[in-house]
Structure 1
Amino acid sequence: MSKSAPRQEADPARLIDERIRELGDWRGEMLARLRALIRQADPEVIEEWKWRGVPVWYHDGMICTGETYKSVVKMTFAKGAALDDPSGLFNSSLDGNTRRAIDFHEGEKINEAALKALIRAAVTLNAASSRR
């Protein structure tokens, strides 16, 4: 295999499972909950593992990523700036022209209905963009 060829990774779902287990704290629990909500909102979602350890969810394009940091689990929506956010979930990366993110902190409750609506809106936006 040449250096420029992408290395085949293990099954993304398994790698995400491993990340959740290895975190072993509230961040793993939060990432697992966010993942479950993504799957509920879009049962056809495709999981990938990118950038040396970031879970990424796709449907007709990238929906969002799930990054884990020391004090936050960050859910970044690839086209978040183009999405309506009537519940005001976006609280990070608000200055860019494309992305928007939600930072989840320890002990924070998730507005599950609003988050699933945002995920479905992202899928709808991707589907509309892919038809052009």
Structure 2
Amino acid sequence: MSTEWRTERVERLRDLINRAEPAVVEEAKWKKASNPDGVPTFSADGLVCTVETYKDKVKVTFAKGASLEDPTGIFNASLDAGTRRAVDTFEGEELDEDAFVALVREAVALNRA
């Protein structure tokens, strides 16, 4: 990742995920030539979410997102997927941090249920 808005966004998302669940475990998975750093994954009693960078966005995919309540409508991608849901964030866009933290907490609770 280059030092630009996407890097800053990933760091902020990481901070929010850790605020939501201090016991979360972060690992880099799926390393390959085109992405030698791999994909950050966050787990707490199972996979909670992944964070991926693309040219125009940073995507947070919740492994069991379709089973989560989303009263604020923060999910805006993968809405037709059977199991997962995602939050795509774009440069200059504000993220509802409270809603994001609540979503992470709900995902962890679902894993622990």
TM-score of the aligned structures, taking structure 1 as reference length: 0.80
Counterpart of 1:120? 105
Mapped pair 1:105 → 2:84? no
Counterpart among 47, 59, 67 of residue 44 in structure 2: 59
Higher strand share: 2
Cα RMSD after superposing both structures: 0.6
Aligned match for 1:35, one of 14, 30, 46: 14
> Which of 26, 30, 36 matches 1:47?
26
Mark the structure with the bigger radius of gyration: 1
State the shift of 1:111 in Å.
Answer: 0.6
Bigger proportion of residues as helix = 1
Residue 63 (structure 1) shift = 0.3
Q: Which runs of 5+ in 1 are unaligned?
A: 1-21
Q: Which residue of 1 aligns with 2:34?
A: none
Could you tell me which runs of 5 or more consecutive residues in structure 2 were left unpaired when the two chains were aligned: 32-37
Between the aligned residues of both structures, percent identity stands at 57
